[in-house]
Structure 1
Amino acid sequence: MSGGGPRKRPGSRRAVPPSGAGAGPDEGPSEADPLWQGDLRLLPSAVVAWAAAAWAIRVDATDATGAGLVAVAVAVVLASWVILRRRSGRRRAVIPVQALAPAATLALVLLAAGGSLVRAESGPVGDAVTSGSSFTAVLRISGEPRSLGPGAFGGGDRILLDAEVIGGVLQGTEFVAETPVAVLAGDAWSEVAMGDTVTVLGSAEPPDRVGRARALFLPATEPVIEQAEGWLASTDALRSAFRDHSRHDDRDGGLLPGMALGDRTGLDPDLEENMKTTGLTHLTAVSGANCSYVIAFAFLGLRLVRCPRFPAAVGAVLALVGFVLLVRPEPSVLRAAVMGAIGVAAVLSGRGKVSLTLLLLSIIVLLAFDPWLSLSFAFMLSVAATLGLVTAGPLVVASLSAVLPQFVAQVLAIPLTAQLFCTPILVVLQPSLPVYSLPANILASPVVPAITLLGMLAVLALIAAPVLVQPLVGTAQLGTRWVANTADMLAAAPAASLPWIAGPPGVIVSFLSCALVLTLIVYRERLVAQVAARRGALAVAPSPPGTRTPPPGRVAGVDPRRRRRLVIGLVLLPGVLTGSIILVRAHLPPAHAWFMTVCDVGQGDGLVISSAPGHALVVDAGPDPDAMDGCLDRLGVEVLDALVITHLHDDHYGGVEGALRGRTVSALYYSTGEAVLPPELTEAAEAAGAEPRLLDEDTSLVVPPLVVDVLWPPAGPADGEENNASAVLRVSVPTPERTLTVLLTGDLEEEAAARMLRAEPSLATDGVDILKVAHHGAQNGGTELIGAVQPDLALISLGRDNDYGHPHATIIEALDRAGIATARTDQLGSFTLEFTAGTLEVRELP
């Protein structure tokens, strides 16, 4: 053989020279830098898939399918163009080739979504929603029941679960369907399990938001349950047995079934709240991490017994399938399984390029399979966390390793990267920052794999070796107690949760802040070096012979084209996530879903009833202008359709200047037993361009869509007692489900209240839903009105630690005896009322 050197085989890779042997900094991307190996060719397709799915679920099946057929035609034209150019030998057209995959993805997702919508719209459930007709439904339960707890309105516990109407009888005609619905039922449904078939009479209402459910089903009779069979019955028996064993030690707050099987039915509410505060709530449900552990343990276990790589991979996948069946194949679990498999693929392959490709591909596949995932917070969080770990995670580890030991850097990098990528989404769910989320996850994460493994071994022991179950469960609970104690300890620490900006501005600010923090971490050394160089404090050594010095701002060893693609990708995909967040925000109950707010104005009244976004009826303004102005600002109220001052005591009119500050007022009303208006009221009204008008029972107060009846005072001369001159308003508030009645009583005292009841007998016969207790709960307000109108909720507006003894014990005792829920500003501060799914909810105003 001549030539003296080894012959290079066709297609072989170029030999990599040893360190220092001519490997210059511009040779190409470093193998040690996985981020720069990210293959972003599927990124446009993933973005298109997400946008298409989010659009498709907002239209009907015909529109989605029609758009899909147009996309098919576009994809066919592009494919034909590419093929013809190749056959003709002409240079390949770049734009058609790059547009072909997104066009094909668009067609796939739209046609798949159209098929899903056809199935969802089959049957007459939509007609029943429109007509309001009751019908007998055969439901197949598709999710575990979720307790809404006892509502302040409607009484009893509420159960919400996902189901599918598969048949029934409407107006004497049998039908079949595949219509997904949300079922809102009483606690008799708490024993219903996934896979059960339920026959029940009920009615359907429109859903309160865009989502998978096409209707809200309200049962009117007790359910007739046919229990599931097959694998669902078998896995349900295993889950039940596991729960029973875990109850032997409840010091972990019922956390083990949630962490091991995604079963949160027994989770202690206080612990659940503490885990939300500390950013550990993802541990209470099955996530991608759980699926990763199952795959990894199965794969490594098979490899330890010398199983070949491919059969070991097949065994790991089968183990994952069994795990998914055990924890229930709900959409969120399927999403976690796919995302978890991607994380393991990154570890097993050792190539970030493959992992990123799998992530983008899984987005496309999952959105085609279930387009409603495009508006799912769980899906967004999973994508964001996985994107961070696959792309930025290695760079964060490398950067932290420069100042910390490698193991410590790896432990810190995983929760830190996931937190930075997920925070812009989390602030939508809860506009606050969990201050101790990072240390909480660092403390909890070491025991999570062991808990998952022990939980799975305990499930296997239930089948094969029952005697081992309790020792395995007990050992796992050592870990769950550690997690529970971590959550309880850090949730009790000072400033555990800080308020954040609500709405899209909060999302955008958090996104930019997290991007800045990530940039500072990853490029810390480079930034420090550049600053030092500019100050003349950095001596730059000459480049070795034969190497090129990168231009300023370039990174040695990184292809500029790869860097540009990376930057575009890291901005574009999170941008799509941010856009989806804002789109979801638009389809959640909007900020004005509150229909009433009681402002904390100190010792006084300040009540706001929403009439439209940014518009409200305001009744009284409290004693403090700034407090009233601040409350209306937080509510976004810019127009007062009417301002009513119930009577002329300072704790009701003193803040009127704040209520009118920077706002438009359409009408200003007052009631009084006095002859002269106070100067504060007249000056504020003059500045706002409003003329105060006297109010009595003959006044027609128009604030559409609200219906406002003035019940008191009677027309004619006032009797001189200012409290008893208080205007009493009955406000009918329309909601999507039904009209609520609110009775606002000012400072009306007992004797005047009795006269009003005699003059307005409908108050006692019809009752009201909500009562604003008169005179801040003072004893002279009496209890007759409370007993007569029998509200479901009583509101008391008063100052903390006031000198008047409000509320008086007799008022509170009367409310308690009648079983009336109470909401007080001295305990809650400002709070809002929302009526959702038949339940009246009281929420503190952020």
Structure 2
Amino acid sequence: MTSTPEDENPAGRADPSYGRADAHRDGPADLRLVGPAGAAWAAAAAALGAPGGMVAAGCAMAVALAALALWRARAKGGRAARGYDSAPGRSAGALVALAAVLLCAAAGAASAALHAADVRRGPLPTWAHRYARLTVELEVTDDPRVTRPKVHGSERMPSALVFTAEAVRIATPDGRVTTARTPVLAVVQQRAAKHGKAAGEPPSPPPEWRGLLPSTRIRVVARAAPPLAAADRTAAVLRVTADGPPNEVAPPSALQRLAGSLRTGLRRATDGLTPDARALLPGLVVGDVSRVPPDLDDAFSTTDLTHLLAVSGSNLTIVLALLIGPPHLAARAERRGLARRLGLSLRGTALVGGALALGFVVVCRPDPSVLRAAACGLITLLAIGTGRRRSLLPALAAAVLLLVLYDPWLARRYGFLLSVLATGALLLLAPRWSAALQRRRVPPRLAEVVAAAAAAQAVCAPVVAVLAARVGLIGVPCNLLAELAVAPATILGFAALAAAPVALPVAKALAWCAGWPAEWIAAVARTGAELPGAEVGWPGGWVGGLMLAVTTVVLLAVGRRVLRRRWLCALSALALVLAVCRPAPLTRVLTGWPPPDWRVVACDVGQGDGLVLAAGDGTALVVDAGPEPRAIDRCLTGLGIHRIPLLILTHFHADHVDGLPGVLRGRSVGAVETTTLQEPYGQAKFVREAAAGAGVPVLRAAPGERRHLGPLTWEVLWPGASPWLPSAGDGEFSGPNDASVAVLVRTGGLTVLLLGDLEPPAQQALLAAHPELAAVDVLKVAHHGSAYQDPELMRRLIPRLALISCGAGNPYGHPAPRTVAALRAGGTRVLRTDTDGAIAVVGTPDRLSAVVGGRRSRRRLATRPTGRGSGRSDGREPGGALRPCDTRDGSCGTRRFVRIRRHVRHAGVRVAPRATLRVGSRAT
């Protein structure tokens, strides 16, 4: 629980029936338990991954040093008692504190070593390192959760069901059956379909597995594997392939069935709400995020509101505050809350509050923040029940100490660290900052909420940077706006939770009322996430976190001086607003991105494609959406694009279409044009459903189709029926890559060829179908610059600038060094998004250049001029106009092709006279 400092009783006395109130005394914070708690935490975190012998030796040394410190303290205390000197008395206290720190560190390390040894006990770790197939009886210990599907190259990896469990009975391949209590991580996936339309759709786990409750026993046949980290709290990962419901051995306990029925009732009560309210309300109340869509989850992450979905300690604080009123008045005559109205004594209030806290943990699951809040609440309730003076900082330290000793694995969980840091900031920093704001005539209530949000954000931001390599700029205002609705949504949600099992209509009415504040919170998250500067990149890892911590301290020191001058405050606020809103003219002046005359931008969307072609003020033609919605959305927002008359998806591979929701988010899209081959089926279905949900029609590209949009004109060159491609059975293409939409675009005198992911067979067929195809200014290299390129196409196109869209550190080796070398040998300037970030093509045929606006730098990369008025041998007329190639003798660009052939031969690639490129053992 969190609260403001205790207030002095103005009456000077208290009703005896409620206990005597303590007079408020200003003084330094009570930090006596902070040292022991921190020592136990650090020792437990270190001991979990250390050898047992080393931990034992360290514990023995700590105990010996503690005993020595206590002996010295006793001797010094005796001298002080005899009145020889007062200084030894103070040093004796320091020695006792040192002994407490050493003993708690030894206790934390010993507890961690015992828990780690318990994980490694039994036969399961040995068989996991052999990747054996086992029959295991599991006791579920956590709610199953569905992982978000991720894009791996062209495929969307199927979602899996993940839950923790204890292996209680293990049947090994050698025929032995062992009884144990070994923690494991179970990963459940459904077997992929081999036939029919569903064969192209990523399989999802059977729905019966999602309803598993903790304490349920099931029997599975699984492939065991070792955990990712040696210091993991699980002994093995069990991969289960499920074709049907789980094989249940024993039902869950009565308590877990009750908790499950309460959560199910809340979901039923919210069924009739709007999508955002239906998804968010169970998450706010009990942490059930099974209905939260990925875009809403991303919005909460961007605006630093994720703690609302993690059932933070504020939920329990609201529930207990409803019972006991403000904590600083809970033991006084003027106390408030339902307990006083019901006539409950202090002990009765403490008992009821303790029952609520324990029930809260059972229903909401023992997550780190829930455990921390429950421990603090129980300690505070114990103080209320016994009439002792309450101090919340020692309560927090005691809760940390007890929880780390009970479950040392919490010492390595970032959620526990964030929860403790946020609570400590509310207790230590927020009151001081609130007082400082009130001294500057800020209203008290506003000062309290602003100080609380700012303090929590300041101490948690470095840890978030460690995990996510980003810094949120709008976390404080979004938390302030969301805070208006958190309390009513939580209280009404808990009321619906309690009413659902006995009166579902009443629960639905309460849920309907709670839906309004829940929608407000979702709207705050979505609106904040759409701001261009909602978050900025920051170095990740502990180095980045330390850098941000130092930066925060410096900014706070500067901020104290800024607050003394109103004009500096106004200027700082204006700078923050401009950094978040990023108006296009100002951003362009300060950063040079986007350049004012940009024609084409290759967005940095990772391992995928996403290109934008300017078609007027705020209008663009977009080709492909990349693998991740946030990346393409961020790129389009930075370019100021809010209207997309046509979105072309070259083919249905995930690295080209999975970012579609990011393109549709907050923009007017006229139509989506796709290839004719509707494969893979699951991803084609995803595109149709996403477009239908946004009310956008889906068209199919036709070869020879010509369109224009503002300064843009383009022609669809491919796909088309072709005798050069082997049949795939139900179509004329050898696969989705060869069915990519290829587009020739003209803008401002420039010619831009976009090849999608065409591979050599389709590239050869494209040349055969379009013999007039000749040199271009800009080429989007096919298939992320893979090694499989047709040399005849390279000879014909001889681009002046080649763009390669690929992800940093991708496992496919894209772009292939041979492809890059061949392009550069012909005089082509090669730019790639994995090293250069987003790339903008600017200029005219007379002077073509590119501006790099990615992660590493922003610089203008000039390409050579076209040589207006001079003779050319690259397939262009003077001035850059295209002329047809003479395909009979291949004279278009012969000199440059000779240089390409010489270079690729030097690299070990054989180039035959007629479009055959052999790489390794693959020939086309």
- Tell me if both proteins adopt one fold, taking TM over 0.5 as the criterion: yes
Aligned mates of 1:134, 1:183 — CA distance in 2: 13
* Mapped contact 1:253–1:484 kept (Cα < 8 A): no
What residue number does 2:906 align with?
694
SS in 1 for 2:235: coil
Gaps of 5+ in 2: 1-7, 9-22, 83-87, 190-204, 325-336, 569-605, 611-777, 787-797, 837-855, 857-892
Aligned mates of 2:375, 2:460 — CA distance in 1: 18
Does residue 452 of the first structure (1) align with residue 490 of the second (2)?
yes
Aligned mates of 1:678, 1:482 — CA distance in 2: 63
Change (3 A) 1:648 1:342: farther
Amino acid at match of 2:823: H
TM-superposition CA deviations, 1:617-676 (whole Å, max 9, x none): xxxxx9899988x999x7699x999944466234998457999999xxxxxxxxx99999
Change (3 A) 1:349 1:411: farther
Change (3 A) 1:64 1:169: farther
Amino acid at match of 2:253: E
Amino acid at match of 1:105: C
Does residue 321 of the first structure (1) align with residue 344 of the second (2)?
no
* Mapped contact 1:39–1:353 kept (Cα < 8 A): no
Change (3 A) 1:347 1:474: farther
Amino acid at match of 2:467: L
User: What are the residue-to-residue correspondences of 1:165-180 with 2, within 5 Å?
Assistant: 165-170=167-172, 171-180=174-183
Amino acid at match of 1:365: L
Amino acid at match of 2:822: L
Aligned mates of 2:835, 2:312 — CA distance in 1: 50
Does residue 603 of the first structure (1) align with residue 795 of the second (2)?
no
What residue number does 2:288 align with?
263
In the TM superposition, what is the alpha-carbon distance from 1:340 to its structure 2 partner? 6.0
* Mapped contact 1:287–1:337 kept (Cα < 8 A): no
SS in 2 for 1:329: coil
Does residue 235 of the first structure (1) align with residue 273 of the second (2)?
no
Aligned mates of 1:151, 1:398 — CA distance in 2: 47
Aligned mates of 1:391, 1:653 — CA distance in 2: 63
* Mapped contact 1:673–1:719 kept (Cα < 8 A): no
SS in 1 for 2:508: helix
What residue number does 2:702 align with?
none
Aligned mates of 2:127, 2:498 — CA distance in 1: 46
- TM-score between both structures, scaled by the size of structure 2: 0.56
Aligned mates of 1:161, 1:599 — CA distance in 2: 34
SS in 2 for 1:123: coil
Which stretch shows the higher mean deviation, 410-419 or 63-72?
63-72
Amino acid at match of 1:183: A
In the TM superposition, what is the alpha-carbon distance from 1:607 to its structure 2 partner? 6.6
Amino acid at match of 2:344: C
Q: What percentage of aligned pairs have identical amino acids?
A: 25
Does residue 127 of the first structure (1) align with residue 126 of the second (2)?
yes
Change (3 A) 1:624 1:295: farther
* Mapped contact 1:205–1:216 kept (Cα < 8 A): yes
Which stretch shows the higher mean deviation, 646-655 or 408-417?
646-655
* Mapped contact 2:384–2:390 kept (Cα < 8 A): no
Residue from 379, 397, 406 that aligns with 2:434: 397
Change (3 A) 1:148 1:352: farther
In the TM superposition, what is the alpha-carbon distance from 1:158 to its structure 2 partner? 1.2
Change (3 A) 1:271 1:681: farther
SS in 2 for 1:182: strand
What residue number does 1:197 align with?
217
Amino acid at match of 1:46: A
TM-superposition CA deviations, 1:790-824 (whole Å, max 9, x none): xxxxxxxxxxxxxxxxxxxxxxxxxxxxxxxxxxx
Aligned mates of 1:344, 1:515 — CA distance in 2: 35
Change (3 A) 1:640 1:449: closer
Aligned mates of 1:166, 1:83 — CA distance in 2: 50
TM-superposition CA deviations, 1:471-505 (whole Å, max 9, x none): 22211112111111222222233433333333344
Residue from 153, 156, 159 that aligns with 1:157: 159
Aligned mates of 2:495, 2:835 — CA distance in 1: 65
Instruction: Say what the alpha-carbon RMSD is for the aligned residues.
Output: 4.4
Residue from 406, 409, 419 that aligns with 2:447: 409
Residue from 253, 268, 276 that aligns with 2:301: 276
Aligned mates of 1:660, 1:408 — CA distance in 2: 46
Change (3 A) 1:479 1:258: same
SS in 2 for 1:648: helix
Which stretch shows the higher mean deviation, 641-650 or 66-75?
641-650
Change (3 A) 1:315 1:352: closer
User: What are the residue-to-residue correspondences of 1:8-27 with 2, within 5 Å?
Assistant: none
* Mapped contact 1:202–1:219 kept (Cα < 8 A): yes
Aligned mates of 1:110, 1:306 — CA distance in 2: 46
What residue number does 2:529 align with?
491
Aligned mates of 2:50, 2:294 — CA distance in 1: 38
Aligned mates of 2:799, 2:421 — CA distance in 1: 47
Residue from 67, 86, 92 that aligns with 2:58: 67
Residue from 448, 462, 486 that aligns with 2:500: 462
Which stretch shows the higher mean deviation, 80-89 or 357-366?
80-89
Amino acid at match of 2:284: M
Which stretch shows the higher mean deviation, 435-444 or 494-503?
494-503
Aligned mates of 1:143, 1:652 — CA distance in 2: 60
In the TM superposition, what is the alpha-carbon distance from 1:41 to its structure 2 partner? 2.6
Change (3 A) 1:333 1:657: closer
SS in 2 for 1:179: strand
In the TM superposition, what is the alpha-carbon distance from 1:521 to its structure 2 partner? 4.8
Residue from 312, 322, 334 that aligns with 1:297: 322
Aligned mates of 1:378, 1:655 — CA distance in 2: 47
TM-superposition CA deviations, 1:528-571 (whole Å, max 9, x none): 69x9xxxxxxxxxxxxxxxxxxxxxxxxxxxxxxxxxxxxxxxx
Change (3 A) 1:511 1:631: farther
Change (3 A) 1:65 1:455: farther
Amino acid at match of 1:724: T
Which stretch shows the higher mean deviation, 376-385 or 486-495?
486-495
User: What are the residue-to-residue correspondences of 1:237-252 with 2, within 5 Å?
Assistant: 237-251=261-275, 252=277
In the TM superposition, what is the alpha-carbon distance from 1:428 to its structure 2 partner? 2.5
* Mapped contact 2:499–2:507 kept (Cα < 8 A): yes
Aligned mates of 1:194, 1:78 — CA distance in 2: 46
Aligned mates of 2:294, 2:810 — CA distance in 1: 32
Aligned mates of 2:538, 2:558 — CA distance in 1: 22
Which stretch shows the higher mean deviation, 237-246 or 364-373?
364-373
What residue number does 2:248 align with?
225
In the TM superposition, what is the alpha-carbon distance from 1:331 to its structure 2 partner? 4.4
What residue number does 1:809 align with?
none
Does residue 724 of the first structure (1) align with residue 886 of the second (2)?
no
Does residue 181 of the first structure (1) align with residue 181 of the second (2)?
no
Aligned mates of 1:624, 1:106 — CA distance in 2: 65
- TM-score between both structures, scaled by the size of structure 1: 0.61
What residue number does 2:540 align with?
502
Aligned mates of 1:306, 1:39 — CA distance in 2: 33
Aligned mates of 2:800, 2:514 — CA distance in 1: 55
In the TM superposition, what is the alpha-carbon distance from 1:344 to its structure 2 partner? 9.1
Residue from 41, 44, 55 that aligns with 2:35: 44
SS in 1 for 2:50: coil
Which stretch shows the higher mean deviation, 108-117 or 333-342?
333-342
User: What are the residue-to-residue correspondences of 1:249-648 with 2, within 5 Å?
Assistant: 249-251=273-275, 252-299=277-324, 300-338=337-375, 354-401=391-438, 402-463=440-501, 465-521=503-559, 603-604=780-781, 643-645=817-819, 648=822
User: What are the residue-to-residue correspondences of 1:94-133 with 2, within 5 Å?
Assistant: 94=92, 96-133=95-132
What residue number does 1:649 align with?
823
In the TM superposition, what is the alpha-carbon distance from 1:414 to its structure 2 partner? 1.7
SS in 2 for 1:413: helix
Aligned mates of 2:286, 2:318 — CA distance in 1: 13
SS in 1 for 2:822: coil
Residue from 227, 230, 233 that aligns with 1:212: 233
What residue number does 1:79 align with?
70
Change (3 A) 1:151 1:277: closer
